[in-house]
Amino acid sequence: MSEELLRIDDLHVAFSTRRGMVEAVRGVTLTVKAGEMLGLVGESGSGKSVTGFATTRLLDAAGRVTGGKILFRGQDVTKLRGDELRQLQGAAMSMIFQNPRAALNPIRAIGLQIADAILTHKRISKEAARAEALDLLRAVQIRDPEQRMNAYPHELSGGMCQRVMIAIAISCNPALLIADEPTTGLDVTTQKVVMDLLADIAAARGMATILITHDLGLAARYCRRIAVMERGRIVEEASPSTLFSAPQHAYTRRLVAASPTATSRIEDLVTEEERERYPAIVSKPRQEPAHGTPPLLEVRKLAKRFDQGSAAVADFSMTMAGGESVGLVGESGSGKSTTSRMICRLIDPSEGDIVFDGQSIGHVASRDFHRSPLRKDIQMVFQDPNESLNPRFTAFDCIAHPLMRLDGMRAGEALRQRVVECAQRVGLPLDLLPRFPHQLSGGQKARVGIARAIACQPRLLVLDEPTAALDVSVQAVVLQLLDRLRRENDIALLFVSHDLNVVRMLCDRTIVLHNGGIVEQGESRALFDNPKTDYTRKLVEAIPHIETGPTLAAAL
Amino acid sequence: MLSYILRRIVATLPVMAIVALFVFSLLYIAPGDPAVVIAGDQASPEDVERIRQSLGLDRPFLIQFGSWVWRILHGDLGTSIFTNLPVSAMIGQRLGPTLSLMIVTLLLTIVVAVPLGVVAAWKAGSLIDRVIMGFAVFGFSLPVFVVGYMLAYIFALELEWLPVQGYTPLSSGFWPWLENLILPAVALGCVYIALVARITRAAMLEVLQQDYIRTAKAKGLGQGGILFIHALKNAAVPIVTVIGIGIALLIGGAVVTESVFAIPGLGRLTIDAILRRDYPVIQGIVLLFSFVYVLVNLMIDVVYTLVDPRIRY
């Protein structure tokens, strides 16, 4: 239909590391036509971002194109030098990045940052560049653009920062825009707004876009064509409907299965052939607690105010039975993490009480709670397994530490056995125990974090976005693990997440938070299928759904 | 902004009070009777008594301190025991050379060290980087007086490009003034240049790894624009901090440098005063240096807010 804009031909990229050259991209071939949006999907380490950076010539100093060609309008980008290259970068070809706040210079007003890009490529006056920057802010639908011109990135929300990045990227009307995980880390609702804006701008300006993402659903929603990458190669390229209804490659099948959808169940998250590798999920139905059993956790009118400001959380009440799983969802700033931290007794509530197993713990100061005998009953799994493990502790130390502190165990054979047992319960290979966090993969680190949390056999596990930093296939395994632990050991789970599909699968009940207050709660499936409030409906509608047509149903 | 500066000035008042108390106590921290110490070894008991009375040493400590502070607030730093001249006049005479030396050194340091650090960070790991950092270690390790005598020998005695020692006031012309300051400033600046270059390199390396530098490259900005517009200003906070701390280094170094190059500045005055146990002069100089240092810190705080909008005031 239209001419070929970009042609990547048998691209090889290698990085020099301490252990020699490592090939990150091994023979990628793909084409992008003018004006089309191509999805480049894969998990971390698949080489999708490296392919993007090689195309825009933004590879780290350690990375080198070792083979192949990148032809942009027939010109080999890999051979460009100096001025020729700079005339391309930001002008004919531009890029937006993950984590928009970090991608903007923190001490330069955003108006100047947009004008920088314009002045680099156009011979116009500073005033004219400023006027163009203002127009661009309008184009990316930023309110009060005149005032925002002088704002600094820390004064803007994540979604606004990404719009500013888009404004910079489109400032010189590029023919190709590469968007590298543009909405990862943003709320679902913000993600939808930003992606809709990007798609509209691309369509209006006839700009070709490569959307690099780990989220198959997102790519399916916005792209006509999706290329799936695994370990440096493109394993499959097809339209979204073909990809979901008849995935050809084993990796694609696994990826499709692992992507949670509105209807998937935890058991569905792995493909048939893989399922046998995991122990059959104990499908024992949860025993309903006998009538009149006091709840495990009761939270009454909890509130938290920081520094006299408005309440981060107000009037939050809930109960949880033993072995129950409850989801806590909401956008960032809704107070879900604050609430979970108060329940974990990591921070002190301003008002209200927390009753655990009949004992009031809300008034024990958080800094003294570690001495409470209930500390081992309430444990937490943190969001980022990379940041929440001590880099100087081995996996073994990490799991052994709570046992020594809270169970009073001494170093020795008994401790070693308990650690090994914990590792086995979470499916962590025992030979990984002497390793340090940087020697473990994301999924392995997540397992260490969970093993640490369950080491003292808690009765309540609070999970703060435990899978947000993980690939979907790893997330699938971690979710299955959590579900199994809950069923086997009757651990109650309080699951804090912005990923509604995950919450729907894992949690019996869901509580929706907005601006620090509960807006809706109820049985998960019913709540998501029939949201009663506009806010919940907005959240549900913003999830990029994978089209589950009749063909897919037939394939299953 | 103005209210921030005022608040910072008010906040420095307690610091200055503590400094003043410490400086005043110097006389008492010294072992023995202050009057005997001041009078020296060959003084008669009458001399000691006369000094005791003239300095008011027979009165209670706090009253002495109070009247001392009162006099200082009126610009009276006391009278030198040795020369019988007012301390403020003696300091005033010597201020010019020291101030000239410090300013020239400071400018030299910033002009040399910051670009060196930037280049080293930009070309990190290369030969240029290693040469620059090698020089930095060298400059760091050599004592000021060694560098001073070496420079004087090579450039003044052997090559005869520059005067060996001495000082010419700025009022006698710019070049005669600068000519005499070049060698002392280089000698004094060596450590300082090494320190600032290292910190600049480290701060720049950190900044150059940030995502917004990649964004700047993606915009098509040239190397100069990236290094000086986007990176250097972000790296400025640690650099400015070290330059400020370095001013304390300069004060110490000036004492040695002025001796080596026979510059009639405050450093020489300090040494003379210490050797003569001229306590009022010592107190006056220490008080002045402390005041300068507090002022420099205040300036650094103000520069922070100019550089980084995230620092609130």
- Measured between CA atoms, the residue of chain A closest to residue B229 is A108
Question: What is the predicted pLDDT for the residue at A270?
Answer: 64
Q: Which residues of A touch B309 (CB under 8 A)?
A: 107, 152, 154
pLDDT tens for A105-132 read 999 999 999 999 999 888 899 999 999 9
Instruction: Say what percent of chain B tops pLDDT 70.
Output: 96
Query: Mean pLDDT over residues A47-59, rounded?
Result: 90
Q: Looking at the domain covering A296-555, what would its CATH class be?
A: alpha beta
SS (H, E, C) A372-399: CHHHHHEEEECCCCCCCCCCCCCHHHHH
Lowest mean pLDDT among A173-177, A286-290, B227-231: A286-290
φ and ψ at residue A523, rounded to 5 degrees: -65, 135
pLDDT of residue A271: 57
Per the CB < 8 A criterion, the answer to whether A54 and A13 are in contact is yes
- pLDDT, one tens digit per residue, over A322-368 is 889 999 998 877 888 889 989 999 888 888 899 998 888 888 888 88
Whether A150 and chain B come into contact, CB under 8 Å, resolves to: no
- Using an 8 Å CB-CB cutoff, list chain B residues near A107: 233-234, 307-310
Q: Could A154 and B310 be called an inter-chain contact, meaning their C-beta atoms sit closer than 8 Å?
A: yes
A153 to chain B: closest CA residue? B310
Q: How many Cβ atoms sit within 10 Å of the Cβ of residue A59?
A: 17
Mean pLDDT of chain B: 84
Supply A258's token pair: 């692992």
Query: What average pLDDT does the segment B7-21 reach?
Result: 85
Select the more confidently predicted residue: A286 or A510. A510
B212, B215, B221, B223: which to substitute to probe chain A, counting the most A Cβ within 10 Å?
Answer: B215
For residues A522 and A537, what is the distance between their CA atoms, to the nearest angstrom? Answer: 14
Tell me what pLDDT residue B203 has: 93
- Asked whether the beta carbons of residue B234 and residue A106 sit closer than 8 angstroms, the reply is yes
Residues of B with Cβ-Cβ distance to A88 under 8 angstroms: 220
Q: Which span out of B4-8, B186-190, B274-278 was modeled with the highest average pLDDT?
A: B186-190
Residue B234 is nearest to which of A105, A121, A168, comparing CB atoms? A105
pTM above 0.80, yes or no: no
pLDDT for residue A285:
53
What b/e readout covers B63-80, taking b as 16+ CB neighbours within 10 angstroms? ebeeebeeebeeeebbbb
Q: Which of A19-33, B155-169, B186-200 has the lowest mean pLDDT?
A: B155-169
Tell me: the pLDDT tens digits for A478-514? 888 888 888 888 899 999 988 888 888 889 899 999 8
Contact status of B234 with chain A (Cβ, < 8 Å): yes
- What are the structural domain ranges in chain A? 4-259, 296-555
Whether B123 has its CB under 8 Å from any CB of chain A: the answer is: no
The residue ranking higher by pLDDT, B258 or B2, is B258
- Residue from A393, A344, A367 nearest A493 by CA: A344
CA distance A39 to chain B (A): 21
Q: Which token pair is A292?
A: 């009149």
> What percentage of residues in chain A have a pLDDT greater than 90?
33
Interface test mutation site (partner B, options A107, A150, A170, A173, max chain B beta carbons within 10 A): A107
Q: Tokens 């600068």: give the residue.
A: B178
Return the ∠ at Cα A72 (arms to A69 and A76), rounded to 5°. 40
Residue A515 near chain B (CB below 8 Å): no
Distances (CA, A) of B236 to B110, B123, B239: 12, 19, 5
CB distance from B308 to chain A under 8 Å? yes
Contact flag A106-B230 (C-beta cutoff 8 Å): no
- Report CB contact under 8 Å: A99, B229: no
Average of per-residue pLDDT values in chain A: 85
Tell me whether B229 touches chain A (CB under 8 Å). Answer: yes
Chain B nearest C-alpha distance from A106 (Å)? 8
Query: What is the nearest CA distance from B246 to chain A, expressed in angstroms?
Result: 25
Of the candidates A318, A284, A328, the one whose C-alpha atom is nearest the C-alpha of residue A486 is A284
A107:B214 CB<8 A = no
Q: Which residue, among A18, A49, A87, A105, would best test binding to B if mutated, counting the most B CBs under 10 Å from its CB? A: A105
ipTM given for this complex: 0.75
Backbone angles phi, psi at A271, to 5 degrees: -75, 165
State how far the Cα of A401 lies from the Cα of A410, in Å rounded to an integer: 10
pLDDT at A555: 38
Q: Residue A168: its chain B contacts at CB < 8 A?
A: 215, 219
Nearest CB neighbour to B222, from listed A58, A86, A165: A86
Picking from A58, A107, A108, the nearest residue to B217 by CB comes out as A58
Beta strands in A406-545 (DSSP E): 460-464, 492-497, 509-514, 517-523
Determine whether B162 is exposed, middle or buried from the number of CB atoms within 10 Å of its CB (0-12, 13-18, 19+).
middle
Handedness of CA B298, B300, B301, B302 (dihedral sign): positive
Average pLDDT over residues A437-460: 87
Q: Taking CA B298 as the corner, what is the angle to CA B293 and CA B301, rounded to the nearest 5 degrees?
A: 130
What stretch of H or E contains B121? helix B87-122
Q: What is the mean pLDDT of residues A71-99?
A: 88
Whether A107 and B233 lie within 8 Å, measured CB to CB: yes
Residues 145-184 of B with CB under 8 A from A: none
Q: What is the mean pLDDT of residues B162-182?
A: 82
Matching CATH topology for A4-259 and A296-555?
A: yes
Q: Residue A8: its pLDDT value, please?
A: 93
As a whole number of angstroms, the distance between CA B249 and CA B105 comes to 11
Q: Between these two residues, A11 and B159, which has the higher pLDDT value?
A: A11
By CA distance, what is A82's nearest residue in B? B222
CATH class of domain segment(s) A4-259: alpha beta
Residue B142 has pLDDT above 90, yes or no: no
Q: Does the structure show a pLDDT above 50 at A282?
A: no
Nearest to B220 among A99, A121, A154 (CB): A121
Residue range A525-554: mean pLDDT, rounded: 74
pLDDT tens digits, residue range B64-73?
888 888 888 8
Which pLDDT score, from 0 to 100, does residue B188 have?
Answer: 87
Q: Do B215 and A103 touch (CB under 8 A)?
A: yes
- Classify strands A460-464 and A492-497 as parallel, antiparallel or unpaired: parallel
How many angstroms separate the CA of residue B188 from the nearest CA in chain A?
34
Average pLDDT, stretch A524-531?
88
Q: Which of B167, B180, B189, B175 is nearest to B111 (CA)?
A: B189
Q: Which own/partner contact pairs does A61-67 have at CB distance under 8 Å and 24+ positions apart?
A: A62/A15, A62/A16, A62/A17, A63/A13, A63/A14, A63/A15, A63/A24, A64/A13, A64/A14, A64/A15, A64/A16, A65/A11, A65/A12, A65/A13, A66/A12, A66/A13, A66/A14, A66/A21, A66/A23, A67/A10, A67/A11, A67/A12, A67/A27
CB contacts under 8 A, A 271-310 vs B, are none
Whole-angstrom distance, CA of residue B32 vs CA of residue B23? 17
How would residue A291 be classed by pLDDT, with cut points 50, 70 and 90?
Answer: low
Q: Provide the pLDDT for residue A277.
A: 47
Residue A190 forms contact with B (CB below 8 Å): no
As a whole number, mean pLDDT of residues B190-196 equals 90
A383-414: b (≥16 Cβ within 10 Å) or e: bbbeebbeeebbbbbbbbebbeebeebeeeee
Q: Are A339 and A513 in contact (CB under 8 A)?
A: yes
Query: Token digits for A362?
Result: 């809300």
Q: Which amino acid appears at position A91 of this protein?
A: A
Residue A276: per-residue pLDDT:
46
The whole-number pLDDT of residue B30 equals 67
pLDDT at A553: 38
